[in-house]
Amino acid sequence: MCYKCTLLHIAAHCNLENMVNALLAKGADVDAEDEDKKSPLYCAAESGNVNIVNTLLKNSSNANITNQVGATPLHCAAFFGYVDIVDALLKSGADVNANDEDGKTPLHYATESGHANVVKVLLKHGSNANAKSQGGATSLHYAALFGYVNIVNALLAKGAKVCVIDCGGKTPLYWAALCGDMDVIDALLAAGANINVTDFDGKTLLHWAAEGNDIEMAKMLLARGIDVNIVDNEHGGTALHWAAGSGHIGVLKILLAAKDMDIHVIDHYGNTPLYWAVLCGYTDVIDALLVEGANINVTDFDGRTLLHWAVEDNDINVVRVLLARDIDVKIVDNEHGGTALHWAARSGYLEVLKTLLTVKGVDVNIVDRYGGTALHLAASYDYVEIVKALLAAGADINIIDGRHGGAALHWAAGSDRSRVAKILLAIEGINVNVVDKYGDTALHRAAEHGNAELVKALLEKGAEVDAIGHDGTSLHYAVLYNCIDVIKVLLAAGADISLRNRGGQAPIGLSAGCIKQLLKDAVNELYRMRNQTIGSTGISFYEFLQADKVKLASYTYNDKLYEKLKEGRYKKAYPIYTSMIEDQYKIIERKHLEKKALKPLGCFGTFDEHRQVKETWEVLNEHVCESIITYLTNTDLENVINSQREKKISFLSRLSKWFG
């Protein structure tokens, strides 16, 4: 019992007839409400005591009083199947079509509970067989859902509409299909239900059976002649599409065996059921469809094959299934004209790409609509492993794309990173000065992207520092995009600051703010370096900076030059060019140390005084010693040189003691 109930509520609920009579005789409120707004009559109906119900009704209890959810005593009695109480309430004026707050009538309540006898009584007293709940469901919907075939027949006999739809667009037949009761389904079909009816999404019962992998329902619907090729509204897919996309191999095989099933039907986007299976990665479904004759080389509206989609999803298992079935790897999509290999390269899917490269007849150098190869695409994204795989398969680094006229090196130089570019630069015979359709080299691309590391690598490989592109030299580009580090590298490489672009501007004319000041400072440093010699050597800093490897080798024997540079005073005088001067100095420093360490009377300071001298070293020639020297660090070499000053013993003797 609830709180706030009266003694009359308690007596009615507990079937205490004498107490009910006594309380009524004492003037108890016959329609008092408890906390749930239930009256004593509702409590009596709930308890199933028809005598107390009749007593309360004789004492003028309101037969249509409602509780907090809008249900009357008749709703309650109908739900519990108390036929005698239902009959008593109806005779006392209870509203047979009263609605609770969900819009349900007593007939809904009786139907949900499966009380066929109550349903018949209510219908006899004029209950509306087509009354709808707030959700748009009639009693026939509920009878169909719960599989009450006797109630279905009773409702149909009283004029229940068999094709009525609820708020979701579903008929009683839909609800019956959810239950799977064949007797109910047959009863509805016999009454004129449309087996091909669709819900608001355009889905038939067969769609739902396919999506839910309900094999028995699918068999039943097919046996009763449902149209297998009806498509849903959103995707335009048939039941076969949905079975394929859901991976339900059991119901898919049932559908494939159906008469008139179109295995090649396409949805709104040009996709077949096989496409749906590929997109969702169901290899067993793919095999089943292919066995039944599905076209493996079918394309969608964008010209993409199943292989394109499998590659884009990076689904190696599906890719292998399709390749094993000899799908055409050369078909290109409409938008870019790219093969599946292009897609794999652009996406960076290494395993998929390697698998494609194993296919007989695959062309690693095939170009897309814009003349781009898979190598171009991989280079632009700096996919190192992809590039290595393509090169190993014979990718041509010199193919020029048809859109921009650039080689793979151009594409790599357009990346913010340098990994692929360095791989390409290491290939013998690569042309670093090839120009694209705009006249730009890879150096121009690297300069405008601010990639100082790559700019330096290109210059070391022989890139022309002053090559004129569509908008000037690489220095113009670096200045235009405020790439200070690149500017420094280019200036150190001797970039001509006086060259002008097609607009007649020198690099300094493009610069602004700090860039313009940087160029001015760089020019001043260059001027001073031309006029300042390194100590008393007679060699200017500018000459030293411009020296090639041969010239630097000659400087190795200039002790004065070496010692002066070792002081490092140039760092303060030439801050912009410091790193370039240091790079040159490091070369002669190494050579200088090696030369001194190999003096005929030189000797090693030992790292391990406890090692024994081995006679083997006594027979080593000078060439072997030179080779060994190359493995020593500069610090090691300095130790060797220092030891020469301390001890005048043979080079080989000391060498053997060190390495013994």
Domain extent for 628? 598-660
User: Which residue among 108, 128, 148 closes a domain?
Assistant: 128
Q: Is the pLDDT confidence value at 36 over 60? A: yes
Q: What is the mean pLDDT of residues 562-571?
A: 83
Q: Is the pLDDT confidence value at 624 over 80? A: no
Between residues 332 and 416, which one has the greater pLDDT?
Answer: 332
Res 649: pLDDT: 44
Between residues 640 and 287, which one has the greater pLDDT?
Answer: 287
Between residues 385 and 561, which one has the greater pLDDT?
Answer: 385
What is the band of 519 on the pLDDT scale with cuts at 50, 70, 90? confident
The burial of 573, by beta-carbon neighbours within 10 Å (0-12 exposed, 13-18 middle, 19 or more buried), is given as: middle
Res 644: pLDDT: 55
Q: Is the pLDDT confidence value at 70 over 50? A: yes
Q: How many CA atoms lie within 13 A of 414 on its CB side?
A: 16
Residue 634 forms part of a structural domain? yes
Whole-number Å distance between alpha carbons of 395 and 375:
7
User: Which residue among 111, 128, 145 closes a domain?
Assistant: 128
What is the band of 395 on the pLDDT scale with cuts at 50, 70, 90? very high
What's the total number of domains in the chain? 2
Q: Is the pLDDT confidence value at 651 over 60? A: no
What is the separation, in whole angstroms, between the first and last Cα of the chain?
102
Res 134: pLDDT: 94
Closest among 324, 371, 319 to 347, alpha carbons compared: 319
Residue 89 forms part of a structural domain? yes
Q: How far is CA 632 from CA 212, 582, 593, in A?
A: 73, 20, 10
What is the band of 617 on the pLDDT scale with cuts at 50, 70, 90? very low
Residue 643 forms part of a structural domain? yes
User: Which residue among 94, 128, 162 closes a domain?
Assistant: 128
Residue 3 forms part of a structural domain? yes
Q: Is the pLDDT confidence value at 548 over 60? A: yes
Whole-number Å distance between alpha carbons of 627 and 500:
49
Residue 101 forms part of a structural domain? yes
Res 48: pLDDT: 94
β strands within 148-203, DSSP E: none
Q: Is the pLDDT confidence value at 607 over 80? A: no
Q: What is the mean pLDDT of residues 344-358?
A: 96
Which tokens is 122 given? Answer: 């209510």
Q: How far is CA 241 from CA 208, 222, 632, in A?
A: 12, 16, 70
Which tokens is 54 given? Answer: 């009749």
- Name the residue with tokens 């699918």: 218
Q: pTM (2 decimals)?
A: 0.65
Res 615: pLDDT: 39
Residue 589 forms part of a structural domain? no
* Number of other residues whose CB lies within 10 A of the CB of residue 459: 21
Q: How far is CA 199 from CA 163, 167, 472, in A?
A: 12, 10, 66
Between residues 117 and 510, which one has the greater pLDDT?
Answer: 117
Mean pLDDT of the chain: 88
Dihedrals phi, psi of 549, to nearest 5 degrees: -65, -35
pLDDT tens, residue by residue, 150-195: 999 999 999 999 999 999 889 999 999 888 888 999 999 999 999 9
Domain at 49, CATH number: 1.25.40.20
* Number of other residues whose CB lies within 10 A of the CB of residue 539: 18
Q: Check: CB of residue 490 under 8 Å from CB of residue 456.
A: no
SS3 348: coil
Residue 238 forms part of a structural domain? no
Residue 637 forms part of a structural domain? yes
Res 604: pLDDT: 38
Between residues 5 and 230, which one has the greater pLDDT?
Answer: 230
